[in-house]
């Protein structure tokens, strides 16, 4: 198991006997992330384009599977993950960070929009990412307004020609 069962504030990681596990916001009884056989297929579009030494930007830590897989496949690369909930970061990220093969694996606790518009993040990641992965719910994507238009306009400083921008859920993916 990648992340053991635990609780931090309003967030809980549940592990069940059959090997599935989930991240639950306790106060509203909402499952935000669950890794089950059916869920993993949606993440394959990310897993299928990962390679060694890539620079990967991931929005949404969740249970850490995407960050973990990227940190294993992109050996010698850079992984930057943006998560807006500090409690989720505290529950999940230490288990990822301890097992990374990436040269650099960082977590930034802030909203995606804050990361993209932050001059300090632009300076920190002065070279472009090969892959940008949005693993956030469509409701969370509403922080961008017209999500696709906003992303195409504002993600430009972080990508280069040949980069992939991929979305979990209803959105498809683009290659620039």
Q: pLDDT per residue over 118-159, tens digit each?
A: 777 777 776 678 888 887 655 555 555 555 566 667 777 778
- Among 32-41, 80-89, 135-144, 156-165, the minimum mean pLDDT is found in 135-144
CA–CA gap between residue 47 and residue 85 (Å, rounded): 24
**pLDDT tens digits for range 104-129:** 888 888 877 777 777 777 777 766 78
pTM of the predicted structure, to 2 decimals:
0.80
CA–CA gap between residue 25 and residue 32 (Å, rounded): 7
Residues contacting 109, CB < 8 A, separation 6+: 83, 84, 85, 86, 89
Residues 81 and 55 sit within 8 Å (Cβ to Cβ): no
């Amino acid at each position: 198991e990648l992340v053991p069962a635990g609780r931090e504030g309003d967030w809980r990681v549940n592990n069940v006997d059959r090997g599935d596990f989930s991240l639950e916001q306790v106060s509203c009884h909402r499952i935000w992330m669950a890794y089950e056989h059916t869920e993993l297929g949606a993440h394959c579009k990310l897993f299928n384009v990962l390679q060694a030494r890539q620079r990967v930007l991931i929005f949404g830590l969740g249970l850490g599977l995407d960050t973990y897989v990227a940190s294993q496949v992109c050996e010698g690369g850079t992984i930057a993950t943006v998560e807006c909930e500090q409690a989720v970061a505290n529950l999940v990220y230490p288990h990822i960070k301890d097992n990374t093969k990436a040269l650099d694996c960082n977590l930034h606790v802030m909203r995606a929009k804050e990361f993209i518009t932050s001059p300090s993040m632009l300076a920190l990641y002065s070279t472009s990412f090969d892959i940008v992965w949005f693993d956030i719910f469509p409701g969370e994507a509403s922080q961008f307004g017209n999500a696709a238009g906003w992303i195409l306009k504002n993600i430009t400083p972080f990508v280069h020609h040949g980069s992939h921008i991929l979305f979990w859920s209803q959105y498809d993916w683009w290659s620039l």
